[in-house]
Amino acid sequence: MKTEKNLPIIYLNKISENWVVDRFRSEWYQQNKSNSTKIIYKSNVVWLIAPWNWKNVSKKQLKKRKVLCTIHHIDENKFDEKESNEFIERDEYVDEYHVVSKNTYKQVSKLTKKKITTLPFWINTDIWFEINNKNSLRKKYNLKEDSFIVGSFQRDSEGKKPNEPKLSKGPDRFLEIVKYLKNEKQNIHILLSGKRRNYLIKELVKNNISYTYFEMADYVTINELYNCLDLYIVASRFEGGPQSILECGITKTPIISTDVGIASEILSKESLFDMTNFEKAIPNTDYAFKNSLKYDSNKVFEKYNQMIKAIYES
C-alpha cells in the first residue's frame, strides 16, 4: 500500500482483550508504519479505536491532540444513565466520530452534534480467502462430508454469567433457526468458535443437536472453518460489523443475517431476515463477495488515512 506524504502521525489506544479490535490495531500498525506511533506524545492524532478503554489514555495528552473516536455499536438495551454519562464525558475530548455502519451512525447521531464518518473496517485478504477443496478440509477437522454444517464464530454468553445468553448477539434466535433447520435438513451439525459459547453449547446438548467447538482457533484455522460451512448465521439484535459478514463474503461462505451493522451494505436483500421470515432467507455468495472486495485493506487504509488527515487539518 502506498502512503501519502505529510500524513499526521497517529496513535491507537490499547485494548488487549484478544478481540477483533486487537487485530485491527495490529494490522493498522503493520501496514501504516510510516505515519503511526505507539508512543502517544509523538502523535498528532489519537484514535480511540477501543473507546471503552479511553480513561486509560492521559486526558492531558487528549487535550493537546485531535481525537478520533470509533463507536462500534450501541446496545440500546444496556445504554443506561451510566453509559450515557460516560459518552458525554468522553465527548468533551473527541473531535470526530467514526462508525462502521449506517445503523450505528443513526444511533450516534442522536448523542452528539460532532461530525460522524461512516467507514467499515477493512478485510485482510491475506488471511481470509476461499478454499475450493471443501471435502479435504472437512476430513482435516473430523467433520462428516454429508453433514449440513452451520457456523457461528462469535461469543454468545455474558461474561459474568456465562450460562446466560448475550441477547445482543442473538444466540436464542440462532438456536430457534437451528431447531427449524434440524427438521428440514438431514445430518445438521453446528460448528462453533470463539470464547464464551456456554449458552449455545448447553442448549445444543439439551436439544440433541451435534456440534464441534474450536474455542480459541487461530486465523488460519478460522479461515478453513469458514470454508467447511454450508451456512453461517448472524442472528444479532445489535452489531457494529459484525466482521464475520465481511469474512463470509470474502471466503464465499453462504451467509444469512438480521439487518444489523453492515449487513445491508454487504448482503443482498434476500439474505436478510427477521424472526418472522428467516426460513425464506437465501444466501447470495457472489453478491456478498463483490461487495466485500470493496473493503480490501489495501484499498480501505487509504480512506482511513484521508479521514485522519482531514481531522488533523480541521
Q: What is the pLDDT of residues 304-314, one digit of tens each?
A: 999 999 999 99
- Strand-pairing partners, residue 255, are 232
Low-confidence ranges of the chain (pLDDT < 50): 1-3
- Residue 19: its pLDDT value, please? 76
Q: Which residue has the cell 477443496?
A: 133
What order of strands is seen across the sheet that includes strand 272-273?
211-214, 188-193, 148-152, 231-234, 255-258, 272-273
pLDDT tens for each residue of 226-284: 999 999 999 998 888 899 999 999 999 999 999 999 999 999 999 999 999 999 999 99
- Reported pTM: 0.90
- Residue 1: its pLDDT value, please? 38
Question: CB–CB of 44/66 below 8 Å?
Answer: yes
What order of strands is seen across the sheet that includes strand 116-118?
10-12, 45-48, 66-71, 96-99, 116-118
The DSSP annotation for 25-46 comes to: HHHHHHH-GGGB-SSGGG-SEE
Q: How many helices (H) and strands (E) does the chain have?
A: 12, 11
Boundaries of every domain in the chain: 10-122+296-313, 134-294
CATH code assigned to 134-294: 3.40.50.2000
CA distances from 291 to 45, 89, 310 (A): 30, 37, 26
> Is residue 173 classed exposed, middle or buried when 0-12, 13-18 and 19+ CB atoms within 10 A define those classes?
buried
Distance CA(313)–CA(94), nearest Å, equals 15
Exposure of 18 in the CB half-sphere (CA atoms within 13 A): 10
Tell me whether strands 188-193 and 272-273 are parallel, antiparallel or unpaired. Answer: unpaired
- Residue 2: its pLDDT value, please? 40
Three-state SS at 113? coil
- Residue 75: its pLDDT value, please? 81
Distance CA(12)–CA(28), nearest Å, equals 9
Tell me whether strands 66-71 and 96-99 are parallel, antiparallel or unpaired. Answer: parallel
- Residue 286: its pLDDT value, please? 98
- Residue 158: its pLDDT value, please? 64
